Structure 1
């Protein structure tokens, strides 16, 4: 006799649903990317110089590092426990435990700031204080969003996201614009203050809607499996930090904050596709976790991976074509945007490896093979730092981009090898592989074109033409069964 709950879980994990209602969660979560993309050119112009933007990039990178650690992976355990149990009591208790862990770890981070801050190149104490304090409300937002996502409560999820993510960007930019004469480090402090205040408000709203449960929060039978699952994910998140932000730290140490600021602008443009893939992994994981049949789960994950590959073709080509114009719009001439096109191209290519790694990583998480993920993560993180140390002195920002691409490819291959014992994972077709190689080659060839006004205008027109192509592919995905 069929299990109605499994039938419902299978339907929620189907391609048509994931690229329908499931995609709405990705769109909502992507509001932060959009708002950040809008805020970046404003900040680049108002802060006035690459060094100030580099300080801001460093603060955001350290914030991401802290978020990878202070929750001890319990935010991921909350989502998986809810999805696999079909009951929210244990998950809500874990949410409270995650908040307690985040608060305690943040206090320890502040006490030890005098030891680790100089190693990261942090010289501005107000920015350092705000960055550390920002950790606690962001943890509250993460936990609340996890509960709302697992419960499939789209409207509350959207409300919390808009308040914290979009509200933070708006408030931060307003605070900077209100005191333009205090650009530089003070401007950075005001922007981070806006992000902190909005996250605090979002955390309050989200936790009221998600209602974490105090009872059972310190129960060892509830905590033990969650900690065993979550702590290795901390290492995985740390490697994600290294892949996404470690290059900035190496650049800061070897080339200075101005080069970090230039790299940040190019990285923001090129990394959009990989960020969206990360959002799909986070928002779709509970849907796949609810499917009990392992073979069917593999099939569904493989099908969505292939669909994302196809969607990436117009995205990779469009971003590369449009980058010369976009870079000149969002960055002043002092950033030398013409020299950043190679960085954008190399970074956007990492989206293909990100899609492959996201698929196998999702399966390993659902199967609770987080220790394998941790081992892979440590190896990839070490190789990425090593490559940056070798390539950055000679190639600067372009070297950092190449190191990131190589690391993403290595991570994808290693995770695929680790998942080999979990069942037969569908391979992408030769035709799809050929399409990826062709699009990558064509996009790379456009990098060699001159960057005069006429050529850039033609490029941008062709980039806009990629949008209908992407929409057609998305419509097909929504009709798929």
Structure 2
């Protein structure tokens, strides 16, 4: 099972890498105030946050509902076969309704969120995006449930490249913030019109009315936790822009796009595979070994990526913009990335509650973390500015991961390696701080030191006891099997699913 998780996460990461690289292409345009005014970059962060909340409402908990019911041993084969078409009908109705509301009330939404009713056109195009994206998400989720990672990646890469092309075209045409939203809408519409017919050609086109009620009953409690989770992720944009204005919001948005590498490259690709395989592992064997192993490996890898972002983000930013405020965001980036690392760990521990059907408990945990995040934002932003927002999110995500793990112990006890997590956090902090004196050095010596610090992280994991020699042997065995290694090598090095 661990090998399947490694393989599928790696494949999903291709789509995430493509999406993030395409996002860096857009940063070259977002960082040019003649193409997108700095104020509009701050408002873009607000619209992106609104987009995620709208998608949550329109989705009505369908993605997790599809994953849970399409493979549930509690349903008959006939009921399971009706899940995709049933979910698609619900998505069309819910997505269309949310899009219609956004279109009709766009002037009021623009005045409330963007302080200008003349930005209503941007809100309308955002509404179009939400409607089509809700529909296409059904196809994406069915591919995940069937472990069709390759097909998922092909569709995701196509949509990401189309989005970049459309956004750049509208920005070059001088359409600014509205053009960005138009690009979003075009990419979602084209993707939905391609993948939906393809889905209907491959599934049973039958809607089960009784299943609608069961899926909604499963998903509705998750809306509360979803809102809280979205606030943890992106809600600080509202607070930050409301308290300090869109210019400060633009700085935070820039840092969040880099810190989001952990989310896009690691968390999302990992979650796409683990949510499915974690449920299947507990349903089929009842053993939490996959959860325990995944916790340690994810913590170590996310720590390394977080460190790398902090060490090199300033130099990368210099290639994309000349705005000093956007370049000097490395501390912000580390805080944002660290928050996303804890977000990934949360998905490991919450999987146990998904299997147990304890969606109300999930809502309580995420709601408490969201309230903590809001309180910390209100307390820290006036003192630390954008760094206060990032620190508040990191602390809230850490509290969520720890609290959810403790809550889930009553359902399935798991001996998570908390010591390894503490060591990883200490290594990241120490190596990042060791790089700070080089900030004003010439490019060559600065990069040499920072590359050395990044490379030192790996042996430090072994010296500190996070990993041992037998872990290295098992990792080599896993890689050998992924590349066609012999069964003899597997036997010599041990089955990676037995790794501690």
1:419-438 maps to which residues of 2 (within 5 A)? Answer: 419-428=408-417, 430-431=419-420, 433-438=422-427
1:126 aligned onto 2:121 = yes
Matches of 1:466 and 1:120, distance apart in 2: 45
Decide whether aligned partners of structure 1 residues 307 and 119 sit closer, same or farther in structure 2, where only a CA change above 3 A counts: same
1:279 aligned onto 2:274 = no
Is the 1:270–1:345 contact (alpha carbons within 8 Å) kept by the matching residues of 2? yes
Matches of 2:435 and 2:359, distance apart in 1: 40
1:160 aligned onto 2:151 = no
1:216 aligned onto 2:207 = yes
Q: How many residues align?
A: 458
Matches of 2:198 and 2:304, distance apart in 1: 38
Matches of 2:64 and 2:335, distance apart in 1: 30
Matches of 2:357 and 2:20, distance apart in 1: 29
Compute the TM-score of the two structures, normalised by the length of structure 1: 0.87
Match of residue 350 from structure 1: 339
Matches of 1:65 and 1:231, distance apart in 2: 14
Is the 1:295–1:424 contact (alpha carbons within 8 Å) kept by the matching residues of 2? no
Match of residue 169 from structure 1: 164
1:206 aligned onto 2:195 = yes
List per-residue Cα deviations over 1:216-242 (Å, max 9, x = no partner). Answer: 25x0x2022211211122222212221
1:321 aligned onto 2:311 = yes
1:44 aligned onto 2:39 = no
Residue 410 of structure 2 aligns to a residue whose secondary structure is helix
List per-residue Cα deviations over 1:347-377 (Å, max 9, x = no partner). Answer: 2222442232111122222322111111122
Matches of 1:151 and 1:88, distance apart in 2: 12
Match of residue 245 from structure 1: 234
Is the 2:82–2:206 contact (alpha carbons within 8 Å) kept by the matching residues of 1? no
Matches of 1:92 and 1:432, distance apart in 2: 42
Decide whether aligned partners of structure 1 residues 57 and 435 sit closer, same or farther in structure 2, where only a CA change above 3 A counts: closer
Matches of 2:476 and 2:179, distance apart in 1: 42
Decide whether aligned partners of structure 1 residues 400 and 285 sit closer, same or farther in structure 2, where only a CA change above 3 A counts: same
Matches of 1:153 and 1:55, distance apart in 2: 37
Is the 1:71–1:101 contact (alpha carbons within 8 Å) kept by the matching residues of 2? yes
Decide whether aligned partners of structure 1 residues 456 and 92 sit closer, same or farther in structure 2, where only a CA change above 3 A counts: farther
1:72 aligned onto 2:60 = yes
Matches of 2:88 and 2:358, distance apart in 1: 21
Shift of 1:296: 4.2
Matches of 2:46 and 2:218, distance apart in 1: 30
Is the 2:307–2:454 contact (alpha carbons within 8 Å) kept by the matching residues of 1? no
Matches of 1:332 and 1:368, distance apart in 2: 50
Q: 1:311 aligns with which of 298, 301, 315?
A: 301
Runs of 5+ in structure 1 lacking a partner? 1-13
1:110 aligned onto 2:103 = yes
Shift of 1:210: 1.6
Match of residue 372 from structure 1: 361
Is the 1:373–1:415 contact (alpha carbons within 8 Å) kept by the matching residues of 2? yes
Shift of 1:408: 0.5
Residue 313 of structure 1 aligns to a residue whose secondary structure is helix
Residue 70 of structure 2 aligns to a residue whose secondary structure is helix
Decide whether aligned partners of structure 1 residues 166 and 378 sit closer, same or farther in structure 2, where only a CA change above 3 A counts: same
Matches of 1:416 and 1:117, distance apart in 2: 39
Is the 2:303–2:338 contact (alpha carbons within 8 Å) kept by the matching residues of 1? no
Match of residue 8 from structure 1: none
Runs of 5+ in structure 2 lacking a partner? 462-471, 482-495
Matches of 1:451 and 1:296, distance apart in 2: 54
Residue 71 of structure 2 aligns to a residue whose secondary structure is helix
List per-residue Cα deviations over 1:122-165 (Å, max 9, x = no partner). Answer: 52111111111111111122111001121223343233212222
1:294-305 maps to which residues of 2 (within 5 A)? Answer: 296-305=286-295
Match of residue 256 from structure 1: 245
Is the 2:87–2:138 contact (alpha carbons within 8 Å) kept by the matching residues of 1? no
Match of residue 9 from structure 1: none
Shift of 1:175: 2.7
Shift of 1:396: 1.1
Q: 2:447 aligns with which of 453, 457, 465?
A: 457
Is the 1:75–1:95 contact (alpha carbons within 8 Å) kept by the matching residues of 2? no
Decide whether aligned partners of structure 1 residues 187 and 117 sit closer, same or farther in structure 2, where only a CA change above 3 A counts: closer
Is the 2:43–2:114 contact (alpha carbons within 8 Å) kept by the matching residues of 1? no
Residue 439 of structure 1 aligns to a residue whose secondary structure is helix
Residue 423 of structure 1 aligns to a residue whose secondary structure is coil
Residue 144 of structure 1 aligns to a residue whose secondary structure is helix
Shift of 1:33: 2.3
Decide whether aligned partners of structure 1 residues 366 and 31 sit closer, same or farther in structure 2, where only a CA change above 3 A counts: farther
Is the 2:98–2:131 contact (alpha carbons within 8 Å) kept by the matching residues of 1? no
Matches of 2:127 and 2:230, distance apart in 1: 16
Residue 357 of structure 2 aligns to a residue whose secondary structure is coil
Match of residue 3 from structure 1: none
Is the 1:391–1:400 contact (alpha carbons within 8 Å) kept by the matching residues of 2? yes
Shift of 1:270: 1.7
Q: Please give the root-mean-square deviation of Cα atoms over the aligned residues, in Å.
A: 2.7
